[in-house]
Chain A
Amino acid sequence: MVPAEVSRRDDDIDRQYWRGWVPEAPRQGHYQAEDDQLLMIPTNQMEENGANPQNHAWAVGTCPMWNCPNFWADPFEYRFERCVPTWEQEYLMGTIVAPEMSMVVVKSVSYEVISGLGQYDLFEFSMKDPILKDQWEDMIIDIGVPASDGKYVFASDVKPLPLEYHLDRNNRLSFFVKARGIVDLAGNSNHFPGEILNPNANFRLSVQGWLAPLRKNVDGAPRPTDLGNMEFANLDEALYLEGR
């Protein structure tokens, strides 16, 4: 009978001597972008009595990418424009589709009515994904001035209206507009749905925010941010390098 092969690894005195040793330096000196170093807790400083700073802990906090844009985030401003020919009917202005590798973070919108509506007329925007997420309205209070000079109450082409929303990847968000006319306290318009708006109204809407990348832009293959840092000083990885 052939004797079972016995591993001789434990007899290697050299290996036993270096067991547990972890090389200090990263394998490669390339720059690795950290997108989660926004909140650094500086507890890693030397104490007065000269204690080893390694005895202190420090941590890297993460600010969620829908609250803080990271280094690789791309600001965007989507602009939609369309003609609205009738009163009291909703028209699609445009749709944002979140790309495969990014989250769309919406922070504000601004808008402008180019023509068509008159003094005291209301207009209403809706946001659906596809259920109704938000709905806001504004009014032309002074037809004689430019939009940036107080033509509307709550926003204009240069004054954004705060709007917090984020779209996960591959989701879509649509914006609609409706010309309403003069309304009473209950919100009833003086126009009926489908009444011809003469001349046609032209709306412009821009949506501001940033695209938060869901993959890390490091050298080599992009890596989902869910998997954490692709760093050397990960204990599992260190043990793996050590050969265990």
Chain B
Amino acid sequence: MIQEALLAGAAQRAAKNLVIPVRMPSYTDIPFWGDPVTITRARPVDPGGGWVDFLEVPVRNLNARVIYRYGITTETANVAEFRWILGNTLLSVAPFTMTPGIERHLDRFVVHPYPVNLRDTFIFAKSKYRLRIQVRNLTIAQQYVWGIVYGWYYPSLESPNEITPQEGIDDTVRDF
């Protein structure tokens, strides 16, 4: 009996010192096989052009994209509105506006809240679809638009032919 107890003690000590790998979710921390997505754009948008592509997250095969933060800024408020498009689908029907962060002076721009305000988000897209931000100029003058998208790719283990936006993807960790 004491032998069993002692053996159990050894097992307990062994179990106590086990190192358990905690799976960090791929949408909060970049996994080992993750790739960076840090894309910035500074573009002039002409008036009367309707919705035009402003920033596109490039497609990489067999990769899913997690967009973690984004920020867009303009010169003054209500000069432009934006929308996310995944494939041919609007992510949100209503276009959004962002807080302006840059003032136009006579011969230069001045960043007001520095740098561009980042808005936390979570956009999960898969490889087959283009993910982009479109912009529409609401004024009769040319407007400069500055945008940043920050996040990471992580690999999808699924077949690219069977990918739909509704599917989930397992987190990937590096097994030790």
Contact = CB atoms under 8 A, between A and B. Distances in A.
Interface of A: 19-22, 36, 39, 44, 54, 57-64, 66-67, 106, 119, 122, 127, 133-139, 141-144, 150, 153-156, 159, 161-166, 183-185, 187, 225-226, 228-229, 231, 233-235, 238-239
Interface of B: 3-4, 6-7, 9-22, 24, 29-32, 34-46, 49, 52, 54, 69, 73, 102, 107-111, 114-116, 146, 148, 150, 152, 173-174, 176
A122 B42 contact: yes
Given A127-B36, A141-B102, A64 B29 contact: yes
22 contacts: A20-B10, A21-B6, A58-B16, A60-B18, A67-B24, A67-B30, A127-B36, A135-B39, A137-B41, A139-B42, A144-B108, A150-B114, A154-B115, A159-B114, A162-B69, A164-B36, A165-B35, A183-B43, A185-B43, A229-B17, A234-B17, A238-B14
Given A67-B24, A150-B111, A231 B17 contact: yes
A139 B146 CA distance: 9
A234 B10 CA distance: 9
Contact of A141 (B9, B21, B36, B108): B108
B interface majority secondary structure: mixed
A interface majority secondary structure: loop
B36 A66 contact: no
A135 to B, nearest CB: 7
B24 A235 contact: no
Contacts of A165: 35-36
Nearest to A59: B20
Contacts of B10: 20, 22, 235, 238-239
Contacts of A228: 19, 176
B39 A64 contact: no
Contacts of B41: 137
A64 to B, nearest CB: 6
B137 to A, nearest CB: 10
A106 B36 CA distance: 10
A63 B24 CA distance: 7
B108 A234 contact: no
Given A164-B152, A166-B30, 4 more contacts: A63-B22, A183-B43, A185-B43, A238-B10
A84 to B, nearest CB: 18
Contacts of A122: 42
B11 A235 contact: yes
Select the residue from A61, A136, A159, A238 with max chain B CB neighbours within 10 A.
Answer: A136
A239 B40 CA distance: 58
Contact of B111 (A144, A153, A225): A153
Contacts of B54: 185
Contacts of A106: 36
A134 B37 contact: yes
B39 A136 contact: yes
Contacts of A233: 13-14, 16-17
A66 B176 contact: no
Nearest to B11: A235
